[in-house]
Amino acid sequence: MAKQKDTSKQANAHLHELFVDELRDILGAERQLLKGLKKMENAAQSEQLKDAFKTHYQQTEGQIERLKSVFEELGMSARGKKCKAMEGLLAEAEEIIEEFQDDADVIDAALIAAAQKVEHYEIASYGCVVTYAKLMGHKQAQETLFQTLEEEKQTDSLLTDIALSSANKK
């Protein structure tokens, strides 16, 4: 009996470690993304897509504040770490911008694809931390992170809508 209790305590400690590690990764990712969104906004041709990137820049600032509040709830300092996946996704976005910036017909579609890859990464990451928070009974953190998860999903579907509407026009 005592042994079982020990094991579950240990499992919880490991899950907590994983939770914090993932939160640090996402915080780093969001901070890295701010720069990327500025570049994508500048490179976008249509006003609609520029606006979408501008709006998501502001949302991303809010998401960083939410993450800080989660760290505060856990009694930890809001220290991020470099997210290698975001680094790679943004490097690819820059490559795309360089390659297609002079091709007005293609640049927006290329930017949407790059941005959706970013959103999908974030959706996966927030999906995980929402689940971890739930498993560990961090109700407030769960709700806070869920708000961001929904925002990322909305952004993803907005990008799909923009892609479809501009493709239809063409």
User: Quick check: 122 binds Fe ion (CB under 5 A)?
Assistant: yes
Shortest distance, position 104 Cβ to Fe ion, whole Å? 25
Could you tell me if 7 and 117 are in contact, meaning their C-beta atoms sit under 8 angstroms apart?
no
CA distance linking residue 48 with residue 121, whole number of Å: 23
Amino acid present at 89 = L
Output 25 or 108, the one with its CB closest to Fe ion.
25
Shortest distance, position 126 Cβ to Fe ion, whole Å? 8
Shortest distance, position 119 Cβ to Fe ion, whole Å? 5
Rounded to the nearest 5°, which phi and psi values hold at 75?
A: 75, 30
Shortest distance, position 46 Cβ to Fe ion, whole Å? 19
User: Quick check: 152 binds Fe ion (CB under 5 A)?
Assistant: yes
User: Quick check: 83 binds Fe ion (CB under 5 A)?
Assistant: yes
DSSP 170: -
CA distance linking residue 153 with residue 159, whole number of Å: 10
Output 27 or 97, the one with its CB closest to Fe ion.
27
Shortest distance, position 42 Cβ to Fe ion, whole Å? 18
Determine the size of the site formed for Fe ion (CB under 5 A): 8
User: Quick check: 85 binds Fe ion (CB under 5 A)?
Assistant: yes
**Out of 36, 49, 53, 63, the residue judged to bind Fe ion by CB under 5 A:** 63
User: Quick check: 25 binds Fe ion (CB under 5 A)?
Assistant: yes
User: 148-154 — which CB contacts under 8 Å span 24+ positions?
Assistant: 148/63, 148/66, 148/67, 149/123, 151/59, 151/63, 152/119, 152/122, 152/123, 152/126, 153/119, 153/123
Q: At what angle do helices 139-169 and 47-73 cross, to 10 degrees?
A: 170
Name which of 72, 70, 76, 73 is nearest 26 in CA terms.
70
Output 85 or 163, the one with its CB closest to Fe ion.
85
Q: Which residue is nearest to Fe ion (CB)?
A: 83
Rule CB under 5 A: which residues touch Fe ion? 25, 30, 60, 63, 83, 85, 122, 152
